[in-house]
Amino acid sequence: MAKVVIIGSGIGGLSTGIILARLGFEVTVVEKNRQPGGMMRSYVRQGVHCNVGLHYLGALDAGQVLRRCFDHLGITADLPLMRMGTDGPIDRYLFSDARLGIESFDVPAGFAAYESNLRAAFPTQQPQIDALMAMLRRSGSQFEQLDFLYSERPPLSWFEQMEPLGAVFERLGCSPGLRAVFGLPSVLIGVPPAVCPQFYHTMALASYLFSAWRLTSNGAHMADVCAQRLASLGGRVRTGDGVVRIRTADGCVQGVTLASGETLDTDLVISTLHPKETLGLLPPESVKPSYRRRIEGLQDTHGMTAVHALVPAARHPAFAHNLFAIQTDASGDASDLIYVQLRPSERPDQNLLSLITSGHEALWDRWQHTVSGKRGKEYLQSKTDFAHRLLGQAEKITGPLSGVQLLDVSTPLTIRDWVNSPNGSAYGVMRSTEQLLSGALLNRTSLQGLFLAGQSVMAPGILGTIIGSLATVQFIIGPERFRREVRI
Protein backbone atom coordinates (compact mmCIF):
# COMPACT_ATOMS: atom_id res chain seq x y z
CA MET A 1 0.00 0.00 0.00
CA ALA A 2 1.55 3.31 -1.10
CA LYS A 3 1.91 5.97 1.60
CA VAL A 4 0.97 9.57 0.91
CA VAL A 5 1.35 12.65 3.09
CA ILE A 6 -0.90 15.58 2.19
CA ILE A 7 0.10 19.02 3.42
CA GLY A 8 -2.95 21.11 4.34
CA SER A 9 -6.48 20.11 5.31
CA GLY A 10 -8.63 22.48 3.30
CA ILE A 11 -11.11 21.13 0.78
CA GLY A 12 -8.20 20.41 -1.56
CA GLY A 13 -6.29 18.29 0.94
CA LEU A 14 -9.31 16.48 2.35
CA SER A 15 -10.90 15.74 -1.03
CA THR A 16 -7.60 14.47 -2.45
CA GLY A 17 -7.11 12.34 0.64
CA ILE A 18 -10.60 10.82 0.41
CA ILE A 19 -10.19 9.96 -3.28
CA LEU A 20 -6.79 8.34 -2.71
CA ALA A 21 -7.99 6.47 0.40
CA ARG A 22 -10.81 5.02 -1.67
CA LEU A 23 -8.16 3.81 -4.11
CA GLY A 24 -6.22 2.00 -1.39
CA PHE A 25 -3.55 4.56 -0.50
CA GLU A 26 -2.42 5.01 3.11
CA VAL A 27 -3.24 8.70 3.63
CA THR A 28 -2.03 11.12 6.30
CA VAL A 29 -3.15 14.75 6.11
CA VAL A 30 -0.96 17.16 8.09
CA GLU A 31 -2.40 20.51 9.22
CA LYS A 32 -0.50 23.24 11.08
CA ASN A 33 -3.65 24.69 12.67
CA ARG A 34 -5.47 23.10 15.57
CA GLN A 35 -8.52 22.19 13.50
CA PRO A 36 -8.88 20.93 9.92
CA GLY A 37 -10.59 22.80 7.14
CA GLY A 38 -8.44 25.72 6.02
CA MET A 39 -10.53 28.48 4.45
CA MET A 40 -13.47 26.09 4.24
CA ARG A 41 -13.71 26.14 8.04
CA SER A 42 -15.76 28.80 9.81
CA TYR A 43 -14.51 30.31 13.06
CA VAL A 44 -16.53 31.21 16.15
CA ARG A 45 -16.98 34.63 17.71
CA GLN A 46 -19.35 35.04 20.67
CA GLY A 47 -20.88 31.67 19.92
CA VAL A 48 -21.56 32.53 16.25
CA HIS A 49 -19.93 30.83 13.26
CA CYS A 50 -18.36 33.24 10.74
CA ASN A 51 -17.74 31.66 7.33
CA VAL A 52 -14.53 32.48 5.49
CA GLY A 53 -14.48 30.82 2.07
CA LEU A 54 -17.77 28.96 2.03
CA HIS A 55 -20.78 31.17 1.33
CA TYR A 56 -22.78 29.35 -1.31
CA LEU A 57 -22.37 26.40 -3.65
CA GLY A 58 -23.41 25.67 -7.24
CA ALA A 59 -24.36 22.60 -9.28
CA LEU A 60 -25.50 20.51 -6.32
CA ASP A 61 -28.79 19.18 -7.65
CA ALA A 62 -29.06 15.44 -8.27
CA GLY A 63 -26.85 14.48 -11.22
CA GLN A 64 -25.07 17.85 -11.40
CA VAL A 65 -21.31 18.07 -11.28
CA LEU A 66 -20.64 19.17 -7.69
CA ARG A 67 -23.31 16.76 -6.42
CA ARG A 68 -21.54 13.94 -8.27
CA CYS A 69 -18.25 15.00 -6.69
CA PHE A 70 -19.82 15.10 -3.21
CA ASP A 71 -21.43 11.71 -3.84
CA HIS A 72 -18.07 10.24 -4.84
CA LEU A 73 -16.49 11.70 -1.72
CA GLY A 74 -19.36 10.23 0.33
CA ILE A 75 -20.29 13.46 2.14
CA THR A 76 -23.62 14.50 0.57
CA ALA A 77 -25.92 12.87 3.11
CA ASP A 78 -24.15 14.60 6.03
CA LEU A 79 -24.43 18.15 4.67
CA PRO A 80 -27.65 20.04 5.48
CA LEU A 81 -28.39 22.07 2.33
CA MET A 82 -30.91 24.74 1.39
CA ARG A 83 -31.68 25.51 -2.25
CA MET A 84 -31.47 29.16 -3.25
CA GLY A 85 -33.54 30.90 -5.91
CA THR A 86 -36.85 29.13 -5.24
CA ASP A 87 -38.68 32.31 -4.25
CA GLY A 88 -36.56 35.11 -5.65
CA PRO A 89 -33.06 35.57 -7.07
CA ILE A 90 -29.83 33.84 -6.17
CA ASP A 91 -27.83 37.06 -6.49
CA ARG A 92 -28.90 40.67 -6.77
CA TYR A 93 -26.42 43.04 -8.42
CA LEU A 94 -26.71 46.74 -7.55
CA PHE A 95 -24.91 49.34 -9.69
CA SER A 96 -24.23 53.00 -8.91
CA ASP A 97 -22.90 54.23 -12.28
CA ALA A 98 -25.64 55.82 -14.39
CA ARG A 99 -23.57 55.25 -17.53
CA LEU A 100 -24.44 51.55 -17.39
CA GLY A 101 -28.11 52.21 -18.00
CA ILE A 102 -29.09 49.74 -15.27
CA GLU A 103 -29.43 50.06 -11.51
CA SER A 104 -29.98 46.43 -10.54
CA PHE A 105 -30.04 42.93 -11.98
CA ASP A 106 -31.38 39.73 -10.49
CA VAL A 107 -29.57 36.45 -11.19
CA PRO A 108 -32.24 33.72 -11.06
CA ALA A 109 -31.90 29.95 -10.99
CA GLY A 110 -31.71 28.36 -14.45
CA PHE A 111 -30.22 29.27 -17.81
CA ALA A 112 -33.55 30.14 -19.41
CA ALA A 113 -34.56 32.49 -16.59
CA TYR A 114 -31.13 34.15 -16.66
CA GLU A 115 -31.37 34.67 -20.41
CA SER A 116 -34.87 36.11 -20.02
CA ASN A 117 -33.63 38.62 -17.45
CA LEU A 118 -30.76 39.63 -19.72
CA ARG A 119 -33.11 40.20 -22.64
CA ALA A 120 -35.46 42.30 -20.53
CA ALA A 121 -32.63 44.39 -19.10
CA PHE A 122 -30.82 44.99 -22.40
CA PRO A 123 -33.42 45.11 -25.20
CA THR A 124 -30.95 46.61 -27.71
CA GLN A 125 -28.38 43.84 -27.13
CA GLN A 126 -30.27 40.81 -28.40
CA PRO A 127 -27.60 39.55 -30.87
CA GLN A 128 -24.93 39.92 -28.20
CA ILE A 129 -27.06 38.00 -25.70
CA ASP A 130 -27.62 35.26 -28.31
CA ALA A 131 -23.86 34.81 -28.64
CA LEU A 132 -23.10 35.01 -24.92
CA MET A 133 -25.78 32.47 -24.01
CA ALA A 134 -24.63 30.07 -26.73
CA MET A 135 -21.09 30.32 -25.35
CA LEU A 136 -22.33 29.84 -21.78
CA ARG A 137 -24.46 26.81 -22.60
CA ARG A 138 -21.72 25.16 -24.66
CA SER A 139 -19.04 25.65 -22.03
CA GLY A 140 -21.41 24.72 -19.22
CA SER A 141 -22.28 21.44 -20.90
CA GLN A 142 -18.64 20.54 -21.49
CA PHE A 143 -17.76 21.43 -17.93
CA GLU A 144 -20.73 19.49 -16.53
CA GLN A 145 -19.50 16.34 -18.29
CA LEU A 146 -15.89 16.88 -17.09
CA ASP A 147 -14.64 16.25 -20.62
CA PHE A 148 -11.23 17.68 -19.77
CA LEU A 149 -10.72 14.99 -17.09
CA TYR A 150 -12.01 11.95 -18.92
CA SER A 151 -11.00 12.71 -22.49
CA GLU A 152 -8.04 10.87 -24.01
CA ARG A 153 -6.78 14.09 -25.57
CA PRO A 154 -3.44 15.53 -24.38
CA PRO A 155 -3.75 17.63 -21.20
CA LEU A 156 -2.90 20.91 -22.95
CA SER A 157 -6.09 20.59 -24.99
CA TRP A 158 -8.30 20.40 -21.88
CA PHE A 159 -9.19 24.07 -22.06
CA GLU A 160 -9.96 25.03 -25.61
CA GLN A 161 -11.93 28.14 -24.76
CA MET A 162 -9.28 30.51 -23.50
CA GLU A 163 -10.24 33.73 -25.28
CA PRO A 164 -10.29 36.52 -22.70
CA LEU A 165 -13.79 37.45 -21.66
CA GLY A 166 -13.01 41.11 -22.30
CA ALA A 167 -12.06 40.27 -25.89
CA VAL A 168 -15.37 38.41 -26.30
CA PHE A 169 -17.21 41.53 -25.16
CA GLU A 170 -15.25 43.72 -27.57
CA ARG A 171 -15.76 41.34 -30.49
CA LEU A 172 -19.51 41.18 -29.89
CA GLY A 173 -19.93 44.90 -29.20
CA CYS A 174 -21.44 44.44 -25.75
CA SER A 175 -22.71 47.53 -23.93
CA PRO A 176 -21.13 48.59 -20.61
CA GLY A 177 -24.27 47.44 -18.78
CA LEU A 178 -24.22 43.98 -20.34
CA ARG A 179 -20.50 43.69 -19.65
CA ALA A 180 -21.08 44.65 -16.02
CA VAL A 181 -23.77 42.02 -15.50
CA PHE A 182 -22.44 39.10 -17.52
CA GLY A 183 -18.81 39.69 -16.55
CA LEU A 184 -19.16 39.90 -12.78
CA PRO A 185 -18.54 36.18 -12.02
CA SER A 186 -15.00 36.49 -13.36
CA VAL A 187 -14.32 39.18 -10.76
CA LEU A 188 -15.76 36.92 -8.07
CA ILE A 189 -13.01 34.36 -8.79
CA GLY A 190 -10.34 37.06 -8.69
CA VAL A 191 -9.69 37.55 -12.41
CA PRO A 192 -10.59 40.79 -14.26
CA PRO A 193 -12.62 40.19 -17.45
CA ALA A 194 -9.84 41.64 -19.61
CA VAL A 195 -7.60 38.66 -18.76
CA CYS A 196 -10.11 36.04 -17.62
CA PRO A 197 -10.22 32.99 -19.90
CA GLN A 198 -13.78 32.47 -21.02
CA PHE A 199 -13.74 28.90 -19.66
CA TYR A 200 -13.14 29.98 -16.06
CA HIS A 201 -15.83 32.60 -16.20
CA THR A 202 -18.43 30.27 -17.64
CA MET A 203 -17.48 27.57 -15.14
CA ALA A 204 -18.26 29.95 -12.27
CA LEU A 205 -21.46 31.37 -13.77
CA ALA A 206 -22.84 28.11 -15.11
CA SER A 207 -22.39 26.25 -11.83
CA TYR A 208 -24.77 28.62 -10.02
CA LEU A 209 -27.26 28.67 -12.88
CA PHE A 210 -27.42 24.87 -12.74
CA SER A 211 -28.50 25.25 -9.10
CA ALA A 212 -27.39 27.27 -6.06
CA TRP A 213 -27.31 26.17 -2.43
CA ARG A 214 -26.35 27.24 1.07
CA LEU A 215 -25.31 25.10 3.98
CA THR A 216 -27.83 25.54 6.77
CA SER A 217 -25.00 24.77 9.19
CA ASN A 218 -21.53 26.28 8.71
CA GLY A 219 -18.11 25.73 7.22
CA ALA A 220 -16.76 24.04 10.36
CA HIS A 221 -19.45 21.39 10.00
CA MET A 222 -18.46 20.71 6.40
CA ALA A 223 -14.78 20.53 7.34
CA ASP A 224 -15.54 18.01 10.08
CA VAL A 225 -17.72 15.93 7.75
CA CYS A 226 -14.84 15.69 5.27
CA ALA A 227 -12.31 14.83 7.99
CA GLN A 228 -14.61 12.16 9.44
CA ARG A 229 -15.16 10.68 6.00
CA LEU A 230 -11.41 10.39 5.49
CA ALA A 231 -11.10 8.72 8.91
CA SER A 232 -13.82 6.22 7.99
CA LEU A 233 -11.66 5.16 5.03
CA GLY A 234 -8.61 4.61 7.21
CA GLY A 235 -6.98 8.00 6.61
CA ARG A 236 -5.58 10.23 9.34
CA VAL A 237 -5.68 13.97 9.93
CA ARG A 238 -2.89 15.29 12.15
CA THR A 239 -3.45 18.83 13.39
CA GLY A 240 -1.38 21.36 15.29
CA ASP A 241 1.97 20.30 13.78
CA GLY A 242 2.72 21.67 10.34
CA VAL A 243 5.26 20.54 7.78
CA VAL A 244 8.45 22.62 7.83
CA ARG A 245 10.45 20.64 5.29
CA ILE A 246 9.90 18.21 2.43
CA ARG A 247 12.83 15.75 2.45
CA THR A 248 14.27 14.70 -0.90
CA ALA A 249 17.14 12.63 -2.25
CA ASP A 250 18.29 12.02 -5.83
CA GLY A 251 15.36 13.87 -7.33
CA CYS A 252 12.76 11.92 -5.34
CA VAL A 253 10.60 12.71 -2.33
CA GLN A 254 11.56 10.83 0.84
CA GLY A 255 9.20 12.28 3.43
CA VAL A 256 8.45 15.37 5.53
CA THR A 257 9.71 16.94 8.74
CA LEU A 258 7.15 18.47 11.12
CA ALA A 259 7.49 21.55 13.31
CA SER A 260 7.73 19.24 16.33
CA GLY A 261 10.81 17.62 14.80
CA GLU A 262 9.07 14.36 13.96
CA THR A 263 9.75 12.90 10.53
CA LEU A 264 7.28 11.00 8.38
CA ASP A 265 8.58 8.71 5.64
CA THR A 266 6.32 8.44 2.63
CA ASP A 267 6.15 7.45 -1.03
CA LEU A 268 4.26 10.54 -2.17
CA VAL A 269 3.81 14.09 -0.91
CA ILE A 270 0.92 16.25 -2.07
CA SER A 271 1.08 19.90 -1.05
CA THR A 272 -2.13 21.93 -1.10
CA LEU A 273 -0.24 25.03 -0.03
CA HIS A 274 0.29 27.80 -2.54
CA PRO A 275 3.03 26.66 -4.98
CA LYS A 276 5.34 29.45 -3.78
CA GLU A 277 4.95 28.29 -0.18
CA THR A 278 5.66 24.72 -1.25
CA LEU A 279 8.93 25.85 -2.83
CA GLY A 280 9.97 27.19 0.56
CA LEU A 281 9.67 23.70 2.06
CA LEU A 282 12.08 22.16 -0.44
CA PRO A 283 15.89 22.02 -0.29
CA PRO A 284 17.07 24.71 -2.74
CA GLU A 285 19.20 22.25 -4.70
CA SER A 286 16.24 19.92 -5.30
CA VAL A 287 14.43 22.32 -7.62
CA LYS A 288 15.55 23.28 -11.11
CA PRO A 289 16.16 27.03 -11.44
CA SER A 290 13.75 27.21 -14.38
CA TYR A 291 10.95 25.65 -12.33
CA ARG A 292 11.67 27.97 -9.41
CA ARG A 293 11.54 31.02 -11.69
CA ARG A 294 8.28 29.80 -13.20
CA ILE A 295 6.59 29.40 -9.81
CA GLU A 296 8.01 32.55 -8.24
CA GLY A 297 6.90 34.57 -11.26
CA LEU A 298 3.23 33.58 -10.99
CA GLN A 299 0.82 36.44 -10.37
CA ASP A 300 -1.70 35.89 -7.57
CA THR A 301 -5.21 37.13 -6.97
CA HIS A 302 -5.69 39.95 -4.47
CA GLY A 303 -6.81 39.58 -0.88
CA MET A 304 -10.15 40.32 0.74
CA THR A 305 -11.29 42.09 3.88
CA ALA A 306 -14.37 40.72 5.64
CA VAL A 307 -16.60 42.11 8.38
CA HIS A 308 -18.99 40.01 10.46
CA ALA A 309 -21.58 41.60 12.74
CA LEU A 310 -24.78 40.70 14.55
CA VAL A 311 -28.00 42.65 14.00
CA PRO A 312 -31.40 42.22 15.71
CA ALA A 313 -33.45 39.69 13.73
CA ALA A 314 -36.70 41.51 14.46
CA ARG A 315 -35.43 44.70 12.82
CA HIS A 316 -33.29 43.12 10.11
CA PRO A 317 -34.83 39.90 8.72
CA ALA A 318 -32.53 37.50 6.92
CA PHE A 319 -32.71 37.38 3.15
CA ALA A 320 -32.29 34.27 1.06
CA HIS A 321 -30.22 35.82 -1.72
CA ASN A 322 -26.79 37.46 -1.93
CA LEU A 323 -26.36 41.19 -2.53
CA PHE A 324 -23.51 42.74 -4.50
CA ALA A 325 -22.94 46.50 -4.49
CA ILE A 326 -20.69 47.02 -7.51
CA GLN A 327 -18.50 49.89 -8.65
CA THR A 328 -17.51 49.84 -12.31
CA ASP A 329 -15.35 51.74 -14.74
CA ALA A 330 -16.71 53.35 -17.91
CA SER A 331 -16.51 50.09 -19.85
CA GLY A 332 -18.60 48.23 -17.26
CA ASP A 333 -15.78 46.20 -15.68
CA ALA A 334 -16.01 45.97 -11.88
CA SER A 335 -13.41 48.02 -10.00
CA ASP A 336 -14.65 47.18 -6.49
CA LEU A 337 -17.63 45.59 -4.80
CA ILE A 338 -19.19 44.75 -1.46
CA TYR A 339 -20.66 41.28 -1.05
CA VAL A 340 -23.48 41.12 1.51
CA GLN A 341 -25.12 38.19 3.25
CA LEU A 342 -27.70 38.48 6.02
CA ARG A 343 -28.41 35.05 7.46
CA PRO A 344 -29.75 33.47 10.66
CA SER A 345 -27.10 32.91 13.33
CA GLU A 346 -26.83 30.49 16.23
CA ARG A 347 -28.67 33.13 18.27
CA PRO A 348 -32.41 33.07 17.44
CA ASP A 349 -32.84 36.80 18.10
CA GLN A 350 -29.76 37.85 16.10
CA ASN A 351 -28.94 37.57 12.40
CA LEU A 352 -25.40 37.48 11.04
CA LEU A 353 -24.44 40.25 8.63
CA SER A 354 -21.34 39.40 6.58
CA LEU A 355 -19.64 41.93 4.29
CA ILE A 356 -16.71 41.10 2.02
CA THR A 357 -14.83 43.60 -0.10
CA SER A 358 -11.42 44.01 -1.73
CA GLY A 359 -8.34 43.61 0.43
CA HIS A 360 -7.40 47.32 0.63
CA GLU A 361 -3.88 46.03 1.13
CA ALA A 362 -2.34 49.50 1.55
CA LEU A 363 -4.25 49.94 4.82
CA TRP A 364 -2.42 47.00 6.38
CA ASP A 365 1.08 47.50 4.94
CA ARG A 366 2.57 48.72 8.21
CA TRP A 367 1.77 45.36 9.85
CA GLN A 368 3.24 43.17 7.09
CA HIS A 369 5.99 41.88 9.36
CA THR A 370 3.73 40.92 12.25
CA VAL A 371 1.79 37.74 12.98
CA SER A 372 -1.84 37.16 13.89
CA GLY A 373 -2.65 37.88 17.52
CA LYS A 374 0.39 40.13 17.94
CA ARG A 375 -0.35 43.13 15.75
CA GLY A 376 -1.21 45.55 18.55
CA LYS A 377 -3.97 47.97 19.46
CA GLU A 378 -3.50 50.27 16.46
CA TYR A 379 -4.18 47.39 14.08
CA LEU A 380 -7.31 46.44 15.98
CA GLN A 381 -8.48 50.05 15.91
CA SER A 382 -7.77 50.34 12.18
CA LYS A 383 -9.83 47.19 11.56
CA THR A 384 -12.69 48.57 13.67
CA ASP A 385 -12.63 51.91 11.84
CA PHE A 386 -12.66 50.12 8.48
CA ALA A 387 -15.58 47.96 9.59
CA HIS A 388 -17.68 50.97 10.52
CA ARG A 389 -16.92 52.65 7.20
CA LEU A 390 -17.92 49.49 5.34
CA LEU A 391 -21.11 49.14 7.38
CA GLY A 392 -21.94 52.73 6.48
CA GLN A 393 -21.50 51.93 2.79
CA ALA A 394 -23.60 48.80 3.15
CA GLU A 395 -26.48 50.83 4.57
CA LYS A 396 -26.97 52.30 1.11
CA ILE A 397 -28.23 48.91 -0.03
CA THR A 398 -29.52 47.30 3.17
CA GLY A 399 -31.17 50.41 4.59
CA PRO A 400 -30.28 51.89 8.00
CA LEU A 401 -28.72 49.37 10.37
CA SER A 402 -29.40 49.54 14.11
CA GLY A 403 -28.25 47.50 17.06
CA VAL A 404 -25.09 46.39 15.26
CA GLN A 405 -22.65 44.26 17.30
CA LEU A 406 -19.31 43.94 15.56
CA LEU A 407 -17.99 40.36 15.82
CA ASP A 408 -14.81 40.27 13.79
CA VAL A 409 -12.81 41.79 10.95
CA SER A 410 -10.37 39.76 8.86
CA THR A 411 -7.81 41.26 6.49
CA PRO A 412 -5.45 39.79 3.89
CA LEU A 413 -2.91 39.42 6.70
CA THR A 414 -5.35 37.15 8.50
CA ILE A 415 -5.63 34.86 5.47
CA ARG A 416 -1.88 34.99 4.89
CA ASP A 417 -1.10 33.69 8.36
CA TRP A 418 -3.98 31.22 8.53
CA VAL A 419 -3.45 29.28 5.30
CA ASN A 420 0.04 30.38 4.19
CA SER A 421 -1.27 32.30 1.19
CA PRO A 422 1.29 34.80 -0.16
CA ASN A 423 0.19 38.36 0.67
CA GLY A 424 -3.17 37.00 1.75
CA SER A 425 -4.24 36.10 -1.78
CA ALA A 426 -7.86 34.96 -1.56
CA TYR A 427 -7.88 32.62 -4.57
CA GLY A 428 -4.22 31.74 -5.03
CA VAL A 429 -2.66 31.77 -8.48
CA MET A 430 -4.58 34.01 -10.87
CA ARG A 431 -5.94 31.93 -13.74
CA SER A 432 -5.39 34.64 -16.34
CA THR A 433 -4.66 34.57 -20.06
CA GLU A 434 -1.38 36.34 -19.30
CA GLN A 435 0.06 33.27 -17.59
CA LEU A 436 -1.68 30.35 -19.27
CA LEU A 437 1.53 28.44 -19.92
CA SER A 438 3.32 29.25 -16.66
CA GLY A 439 0.16 28.45 -14.68
CA ALA A 440 -0.69 25.26 -16.57
CA LEU A 441 -0.37 21.75 -15.13
CA LEU A 442 0.70 22.89 -11.68
CA ASN A 443 -0.47 19.54 -10.29
CA ARG A 444 2.86 17.97 -11.29
CA THR A 445 6.31 19.08 -10.21
CA SER A 446 9.84 18.32 -11.37
CA LEU A 447 10.43 16.10 -8.31
CA GLN A 448 9.41 12.46 -8.47
CA GLY A 449 6.70 11.80 -5.91
CA LEU A 450 5.77 15.45 -5.28
CA PHE A 451 2.40 16.71 -6.51
CA LEU A 452 0.33 19.83 -5.88
CA ALA A 453 -3.39 20.25 -5.20
CA GLY A 454 -5.53 23.03 -3.72
CA GLN A 455 -7.22 26.01 -5.29
CA SER A 456 -4.13 27.23 -7.16
CA VAL A 457 -3.67 24.21 -9.42
CA MET A 458 -6.80 24.53 -11.55
CA ALA A 459 -9.59 26.82 -10.33
CA PRO A 460 -10.76 28.39 -7.06
CA GLY A 461 -13.88 27.69 -5.03
CA ILE A 462 -15.11 24.40 -3.63
CA LEU A 463 -15.95 22.98 -7.07
CA GLY A 464 -12.81 24.21 -8.81
CA THR A 465 -10.61 22.91 -6.00
CA ILE A 466 -12.20 19.44 -5.96
CA ILE A 467 -11.79 19.19 -9.72
CA GLY A 468 -8.14 20.14 -9.22
CA SER A 469 -7.92 17.28 -6.70
CA LEU A 470 -9.32 14.90 -9.28
CA ALA A 471 -6.76 16.08 -11.83
CA THR A 472 -3.93 15.52 -9.33
CA VAL A 473 -5.16 11.99 -8.61
CA GLN A 474 -5.27 11.36 -12.36
CA PHE A 475 -1.59 12.32 -12.62
CA ILE A 476 -0.73 10.01 -9.72
CA ILE A 477 -2.55 6.86 -10.84
CA GLY A 478 -2.56 7.43 -14.60
CA PRO A 479 -5.44 8.27 -16.93
CA GLU A 480 -6.44 4.67 -17.67
CA ARG A 481 -6.90 3.66 -14.04
CA PHE A 482 -8.53 7.00 -13.35
CA ARG A 483 -11.14 6.49 -16.06
CA ARG A 484 -11.74 2.99 -14.80
CA GLU A 485 -11.94 3.57 -11.04
CA VAL A 486 -12.78 7.23 -10.42
CA ARG A 487 -16.21 7.68 -11.94
CA ILE A 488 -17.76 11.07 -11.24
Query: pLDDT tens for residues 323-335?
Result: 999 999 999 999 9
Same-domain pairing of 380 and 352: yes
Residue 338 counted as domain residue: yes
Q: Please compute the mean of the pLDDT values over residues 89-102 and round it to a whole number.
A: 94
Residue 258 counted as domain residue: yes
Q: CB under 8 Å to 223, separation ≥6 — which residues?
A: 9, 14, 35, 36, 37, 38, 40, 41
Same-domain pairing of 290 and 265: yes
141: domain range?
Answer: 82-214
- Confidence label for 157 from pLDDT (cuts 50, 70 and 90): very low
| Domain final residue pick, 214, 238, 254 | 214
Residue 73 counted as domain residue: no
Tens digit of pLDDT for each residue in 374-393? 999 999 999 999 999 999 99
- This prediction has a pTM of 0.95
User: What per-residue confidence (pLDDT) applies to 153?
Assistant: 60
Same-domain pairing of 393 and 346: yes
Residue 32 counted as domain residue: yes
| Domain final residue pick, 214, 241, 266 | 214
| Domain final residue pick, 195, 214, 233 | 214
Residue 420 counted as domain residue: no
Buried-state track 148-172, b at ≥16 Cβ within 10 A, e below 16 = bbeeeeebeebbebeebbbebbeeb
Distance CA 110, CA 346 (A): 31
- Confidence label for 173 from pLDDT (cuts 50, 70 and 90): very high
Same-domain pairing of 161 and 98: yes
The total number of structural domains in the chain stands at: 3
Residue 388 counted as domain residue: yes
Same-domain pairing of 445 and 330: no
Residue 64 counted as domain residue: no
User: What per-residue confidence (pLDDT) applies to 140?
Assistant: 87
Distances in Å between the Cα of 414 and the Cα atoms of 303, 358, 409 are 10, 14, 9
Same-domain pairing of 10 and 97: no
Q: Please compute the mean of the pLDDT values over residues 133-144 and round it to a whole number.
A: 89
Same-domain pairing of 188 and 129: yes
Q: What is the mean pLDDT of the chain?
A: 94
User: What per-residue confidence (pLDDT) applies to 155?
Assistant: 45
Same-domain pairing of 120 and 204: yes
User: What per-residue confidence (pLDDT) applies to 148?
Assistant: 76
CATH number of the domain to which 252 belongs: 3.50.50.60
Say if residue 149's pLDDT is above 90: no
Residue 63 counted as domain residue: no
Same-domain pairing of 210 and 230: no
Do 248 and 267 contact (CB within 8 A), yes or no?
Answer: no
Same-domain pairing of 242 and 158: no
